[in-house]
Amino acid sequence: MGIILRVDVLAREVARRGWNHADLARAAGISNATVTAAHAGRPVSATSISRIAAALNATPPLEGVDALLGE
């Protein structure tokens, strides 16, 4: 059984770091297919979510990007 992430939040956090799907997969140590599933609103494992969160927490957002994203 998997968990569905909020796609809008995930996309925003990826964009805040200047990443694409492959960058997130590499930083989180998960497959591109898992990242694609998460971005598509499909369920992913709790382990994958934990890895995604750790990767995002370990990499600060790019300076000034929030203004560009309307934050």
Residue 22 maps to a domain: yes
Residue 65: Cβ-neighbour burial (10 angstroms; 0-12, 13-18, 19+): middle
Residue 2 maps to a domain: no
Tokens of 15: 């964009």
pLDDT-derived band at 66 (thresholds 50, 70, 90) equals: confident
Question: What is the end-to-end Cα distance of the chain in Å, rounded?
Answer: 33
Domain containing 42: what range? 7-68
Quote the pLDDT of residue 71.
Answer: 61
SS3 state of residue 33: helix
CATH code at position 59: 1.10.260
To the nearest whole number, what is the mean pLDDT of the chain? Answer: 94
Domain count, the chain: 1
